[in-house]
Amino acid sequence: MAHVPSDPPDMPGIDPATAGDLGGGTGPFNPVVRALRRSRRRWRTFAFLAIAIAILALGLRIGQDRFNADSDYVALVVIDGVITTNSARLDILQKLESDERVKAVVLRINSPGGTTAGGEELYEAISALREHKPVVAIISELGASAAYMTAIAADRIIARRLSIVGSIGVLFNHVNAGGLLQTIGIDLEKVASGPLKAEPDTDEAMTPQVRASLQSLVDDSFNWFVDVVSERRKLSRERTLELADGRIVNGRVALEDGLIDAFGGQREAIDWLEKERDVAADLPVWQVYPQPLSFEERFVRILGQQAGSLLGLSGLPAKGETLDGLVSLWHL
């Protein structure tokens, strides 16, 4: 009697483990299994697209609600980092003056200061804005030098007990690299129209004439700073000069010295606006500067970051700001 094998013979190109699935069973070759897998992939794709469309619609709706011409709000202006002149920021502040939807303005400040011109620009712009809208300045971590110059333009200054405040003063930095240049064999020569042209120069120490000229520049700017602090904080000039030796203080001391009005943050600012300026406490607070990225811009930025990561560009340095000339700055 012929022997009948208990297992099917091996067939070329077919794995015995899956041979039984060619016409039935639950293996990957089963037509029903393949159809179910295709259907599952389609549903996943559909669900992903549905979620993406819903998020996009929500983002667009939020953007429309935010800038609804009939909606009143409190404008939030963020001032952080090193302060310099800024035409875009100035334009926003000027537009807030005539915007009927804006019922008040909150300044959120976190800055060591910056150029004297940048601080003056902000002081003048906020002073003009204050004539049309109530303005509250909130010093979060740091409000020094030109940043404090900015804050005093507001109707009220609020800070935390441990915020850093002050550094009322003006500074002109100069690096004398003459010794270094001589060491490496570089000798600079110049022809100038006058003894103070292009002074101070980096290849030599200041002469008494140059130092006196720069001191006059610093003193004149400093006196203006002292005058506006005295006027806005209702301090005598003598008392202001005592506080304007460049010192920094925390919020607790700043309140005792009359440099700020109260402790707190945004909640306390809104409470004051409601009690003292009749601004409804339930108005939304919208950040108008720097203008937040839209939903589409955030989406594109994420895609760009992912693409940059894939291309190995994520470690490229960003361009930073530099300062030159007369500054009202605590520390970089």
Task: Please identify every residue annotated as catalytic.
Answer: 145, 197
Q: Which two tokens stand for residue 131?
A: 């004539």
The span from the CA of 14 to the CA of 176, in Å, is 83
The span from the CA of 51 to the CA of 72, in Å, is 31
Q: Which two tokens stand for residue 238?
A: 């003598």
| Residues 329 and 150 sit within 8 Å (Cβ to Cβ) | no
Task: Kindly tell me the sign of the dihedral angle through the C-alpha atoms of 87, 137, 156, 143.
Answer: negative
Residue type at 222? Answer: F
User: Strands 285-289 and 102-115, how do they pair?
Assistant: unpaired
DSSP, residue by residue, 241-253: HHH-SS-EEEHHH
The span from the CA of 278 to the CA of 186, in Å, is 67
Chain position carrying tokens 């240049």: 181
